[in-house]
């Protein structure tokens, strides 16, 4: 019997650096359309990439708890073929929380409520990374089955420095030993759920805020394996990130 895999797409943020406009619901560009020839949104592109893998049975999207930017707005932003009755994978929506970690925790907990949806492994992805490709998703699934926890990493091109609280360089870090993390990050389930439960307790006790799922796993469960990331798998943070190289594409399927 094969392993069951779910994907969590985190899209519950406030997008304050986008001027308050919900970036996940924005169109990627004037020439980028879905298979129904409708403008493809940031969230729509991310979900389509995961839906392109026949190894993923369930997609859970965390959305803002507000009525204005919540489930209804998220549904409208997706290609409607993904939401048809009987479509695979099954797509569900859960209200997010105050932070990204809390939003992911909500989605992980939701998977445990319905035993039929509880997977062996879960991929956790930023909804603001629309250019993730199926190749990276498949490599991540292969790696998590082998290692139980995995994060895609890009090498650092310029020499990184660690600075102290006074603003002085305190350590010269070798480029070969550091990298920048991407998503999807993938983990064995329900171990990642237990890790988030412990992280929630730790945050309450210490006021620390975890911003990365690999950090949560590493602190409460164990080592996290690394696979090569993808330079195209950029994260949208500012309005100008929506345009540029991506305008060259004309159809989402050319990007997979």
- Tens of pLDDT, residue by residue over 42-64, are 999 999 999 999 999 999 999 99
Architecture per CATH, domain 5-255, reads as Alpha-Beta Complex (3.90)
Judge whether residue 1 has pLDDT over 60: no
Q: Which residue has the higher pLDDT, 205 or 68?
A: 205
Kindly report, residue by residue over 78-109, the tens digit of the pLDDT.
998 899 888 899 999 999 999 999 999 999 99
Judge whether residue 36 has pLDDT over 70: no
> Angle 42-45-49 (CA atoms, 0-180°, nearest 5)?
145
Kindly report, residue by residue over 164-196, the tens digit of the pLDDT.
999 999 999 999 899 999 999 999 999 999 999
Alpha-helical (H) ranges within 78-163 are: 100-113, 134-147
Instruction: Name the burial class of residue 76, with classes exposed (0-12), middle (13-18) and buried (19+) by CB atoms within 10 angstroms of its CB.
Output: exposed
Q: Which residue reads 């970690």 in tokens?
A: 101
> Angle 80-83-86 (CA atoms, 0-180°, nearest 5)?
130
How large a percentage of the chain has pLDDT more than 90? 73
- Our measurement of the distance from residue 59's CA atom to the centroid of its chain's CA atoms, rounded to an integer in Å, reads 11
What pLDDT was estimated at residue 116?
A: 72
Residues 60, 189: Cα–Cα separation, whole Å: 14
């Amino acid at each position: 019997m094969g392993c069951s895999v779910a994907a969590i797409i985190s899209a519950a943020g406030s997008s304050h650096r986008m001027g308050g406009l919900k970036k996940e619901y924005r169109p990627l560009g004037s020439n980028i359309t879905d298979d129904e020839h409708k403008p493809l949104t940031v969230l729509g592109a991310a979900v389509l990439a995961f839906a392109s893998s026949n190894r993923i049975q369930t997609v859970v999207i965390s959305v803002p708890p507000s009525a204005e930017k919540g489930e209804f707005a998220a549904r409208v932003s997706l290609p409607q073929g993904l939401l048809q009755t009987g479509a695979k994978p099954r797509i569900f929506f859960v209200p997010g929380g105050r932070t990204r970690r809390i939003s992911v925790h909500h989605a992980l907990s939701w998977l445990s409520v319905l035993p039929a949806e509880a997977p062996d492994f879960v991929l956790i992805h930023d909804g603001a990374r629309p250019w993730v490709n199926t190749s990276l998703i498949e490599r991540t699934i292969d790696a998590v089955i082998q290692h139980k926890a995995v994060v895609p990493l890009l090498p650092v091109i310029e020499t990184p420095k660690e600075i102290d609280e006074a603003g002085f360089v305190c350590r010269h870090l070798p480029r070969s030993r550091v990298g920048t993390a991407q998503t999807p990050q993938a983990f064995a389930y329900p171990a990642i759920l237990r890790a988030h439960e412990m992280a929630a307790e730790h945050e309450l006790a210490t006021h620390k805020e975890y911003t990365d799922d690999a950090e949560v796993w590493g602190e409460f469960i164990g080592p996290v394996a690394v696979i090569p990331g993808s330079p195209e798998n950029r994260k949208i943070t500012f309005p100008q990130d929506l345009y540029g190289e991506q305008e060259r594409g004309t159809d989402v399927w050319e990007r997979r």
